[in-house]
Amino acid sequence: MGKIELKQVTKRFGDAEVIPPLDLTIHDGEFTVFVGPSGCGKSTLLRLIAGLEDITSGHIEIDGKDATTLVPAKRGLAMVFQSYALYPHMSVRKNIAFPLKMAKMDPAEIDRRVEGAASVLNLTAYLDRRPGQLSGGQRQRVAIGRAIVREPSAFLFDEPLSNLDAALRVGMRMEISELHKKLDTTMIYVTHDQVEAMTMADKIVVLQAGVIEQVGSPLELYRAPRNTFVAGFIGSPK
Ligand code: ADP
Ligand code: MG
**41 C-alpha to ligand 1 centroid (Å):** 6
Q: What is the pLDDT of residues 185-213, one digit of tens each?
A: 999 999 999 999 999 999 999 999 999 99
Give the pLDDT band (50/70/90) at residue 238: low
Nearest protein CA to atom 15 of ligand 1, as residue: 39
**Per-residue confidence (pLDDT) for residue 85, from 0 to 100:** 84
Q: Cβ(43) to ligand 1 under 6 A?
A: yes
Q: Average pLDDT, stretch 212-237? A: 91
Q: Which-ligand-closest: CA of 42?
A: 1
Q: Is the CB of 191 under 6 A from ligand 1?
A: no
How far is ligand 2, taken at its centre, from the CA of residue 200, in Å? 18
pLDDT at 170 over 60: yes
- Is 160:193 a contact under the CB 8 Å cutoff? no
Q: What is the ipTM of this complex?
A: 0.98
| Per-residue confidence (pLDDT) for residue 66, from 0 to 100 | 97
Indicate if ligand 1 lies below 6 Å from the C-beta of 39: yes
Q: What pLDDT is recorded for position 234?
A: 82
Contacts 24+ apart (CB under 8 A), 180-185: 180/31, 182/120, 183/120, 183/148, 184/29, 185/1, 185/2, 185/29, 185/152, 185/153, 185/154, 185/155
Give the three-class secondary structure for 2: coil
- Identify the band that residue 82 occupies on the pLDDT scale cut at 50, 70 and 90: confident
Model confidence pTM above 0.90:
yes
For residue 237, pLDDT beyond 90:
no
